[in-house]
């Protein structure tokens, strides 16, 4: 089932200036390098400009500065990468599941399902759960008592949602992710750990996307909160009572410890994290493997860690790290001596 659209229709949707054949039919998206007849491609990175003259694609999304020199069909606009993202939904191959509730799903009588929901096989939905219009629940998903899922949201297979969780509208949660498990709260009583029952829950906003095998724990007393527009990759860990501000992005293995507040429009790269009980301002960027270790109001990029090296060479330097304080003292002594 190939989808085909005229270049004119695409230009209209994107608000792009069309140069060339308005009737040209587009059947897929591709990269500038690999584009073939029928493909719409994009030039979003100067490094790929060299493919512009040789691309076999039927049309190119590009900025005005490249348009003059390009003889083929072009959609001209300011941000080709955003345009590519926006048009990508037109080319989704997979057919959405049929509406309706699969007969194997187990749904409590007190749960309410709005119009147009799709509930897959082997789903479990608890007491008083509210499922909004058009929500799509994949196979094997479990939703605990008193949770709510806003309209237009999608949960892929084998997601686990605990009780009392609130998920907004048009939010996507990928497979095997867990929302609302107990936060890791224990008090140490002479060596033995006494569990602190986690009485809060989780609130997730609208237009959030959460990857696979990610965990968002319920709060100890208050709720853990994920604001609108947040995007989380796979294997992310959000501990209890954390708040993640609007449109913040976190890559794989990013982990935020308990009670920390992260601002809006932050970016956490892979393996980055933040310690507990701190406040991180808007626009903070934590580079890969950086731990934000104290409250940080100033926007900008933060790092820790080391650059890669060949192991043989690295080892010599790593051993010297253990002598660094001693080296600093000796350096100071030499400076003192030389000034004597």
Considering only residues 309 to 328 of the shown chain, the ones binding a second copy according to CB under 8 A are 309-325, 327-328
203 vs 238: CA distance, rounded Å: 12
DSSP 59-106: EEEE-HHHHTT--S-EEE-S-HHHHHHHHHGGG--SPPPPSEE-TT-E
Whose tokens are 């660094």? That residue is 324
Residues 131-150 interacting with a second copy (rule: CB under 8 A): 138-140, 142, 144-146
Task: Report if residue 299 touches a second copy, rule: CB under 8 A.
Answer: no
Q: Which stretch binds a second copy (CB under 8 A): 11-19, 57-65, 67-75, 173-181?
A: 173-181
Mode of pairing for the β-strands spanning 192-195 and 186-189: antiparallel
Q: Could you give the CA distance from residue 139 to residue 286 in angstroms, rounded to a whole number? A: 36
Query: Which of residues 151 and 206 has its CB atom nearest to a second copy in the complex?
Result: 206
DSSP, res 58? S
Q: How far is the CB of 49 from a second copy (least distance, A)?
A: 16
The residues with which 114 forms a beta bridge, in sequence order, are none
**Which CB sits closer to a second copy, 25 or 157?**
157
- Judged on CB neighbours under 10 Å (0-12, 13-18, 19+), 153 is buried
8 or 104: CB nearest a second copy: 104
Residue 249 binds a second copy (CB under 8 A): yes
Helix (H, G, I), strand (E, B) or coil at 330: helix
Q: Which of 174, 240, 271, 277 is catalytic?
A: 240
- Is the Cβ–Cβ distance between 150 and 206 less than 8 Å? yes
Q: Is 34 tagged catalytic? A: no
Q: Which of residues 53-112 bind a second copy (CB under 8 A)?
A: 79, 81-82, 84-86, 88-89, 91-95, 102, 104, 106
Query: Which of 25, 27, 56, 124 touches a second copy (CB under 8 A)?
Result: 124
Smallest gap from residue 214 Cβ to a second copy (A): 8
The CA distance from 254 to 187, in Å, is 25
212 near a second copy, rule: CB under 8 A: yes
CB of 19 to a second copy, least distance (A): 22
């Amino acid at each position: 089932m190939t989808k085909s659209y005229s270049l004119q229709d695409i230009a209209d949707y994107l608000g792009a200036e069309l140069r060339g054949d308005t009737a040209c039919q587009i059947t897929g998206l591709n990269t500038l390098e690999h584009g073939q007849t029928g493909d719409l491609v994009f030039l979003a990175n100067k490094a790929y400009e060299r493919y512009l003259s040789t691309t076999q694609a039927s049309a190119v999304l590009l900025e005005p500065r490249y348009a003059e020199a390009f003889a083929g069909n072009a959609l001209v606009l300011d941000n080709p990468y955003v345009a590519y993202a926006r048009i990508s939904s037109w080319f989704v191959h997979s057919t959405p599941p049929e509406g309706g509730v699969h007969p194997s799903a187990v749904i409590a009588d007190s749960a309410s399902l709005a119009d147009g929901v799709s509930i897959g096989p082997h789903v479990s939905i608890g007491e008083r759960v509210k499922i909004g219009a058009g929500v799509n629940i994949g196979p094997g998903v479990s939703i605990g008592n008193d949770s709510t899922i806003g309209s237009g949201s999608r949960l892929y297979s084998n997601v686990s949602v605990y009780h009392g969780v609130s998920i907004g509208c048009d939010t996507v949660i990928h497979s095997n992710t867990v929302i609302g498990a107990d936060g890791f709260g224990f008090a140490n009583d002479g060596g033995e750990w006494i569990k602190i029952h986690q009485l809060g829950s989780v609130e997730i906003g609208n237009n959030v996307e959460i990857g696979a095998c990610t965990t968002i724990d319920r709060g100890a007393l208050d709720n853990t909160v994920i604001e609108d527009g947040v995007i989380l990759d796979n294997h992310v860990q959000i501990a209890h009572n954390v708040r993640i501000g609007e449109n913040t992005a976190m890559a794989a293995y990013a982990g935020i410890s308990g009670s920390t507040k992260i601002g809006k429009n932050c970016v956490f790269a892979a393996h980055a994290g933040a310690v507990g009980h701190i406040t991180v301002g808007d626009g903070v960027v934590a580079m890969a493997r950086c731990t934000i270790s104290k409250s940080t109001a100033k926007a900008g990029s933060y790092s820790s860690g080391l650059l890669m090296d060949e192991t043989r060479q690295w080892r010599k330097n790593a051993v010297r790290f253990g002598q660094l304080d001693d080296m600093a003292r000796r350096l100071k002594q030499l400076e003192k001596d030389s000034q004597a």
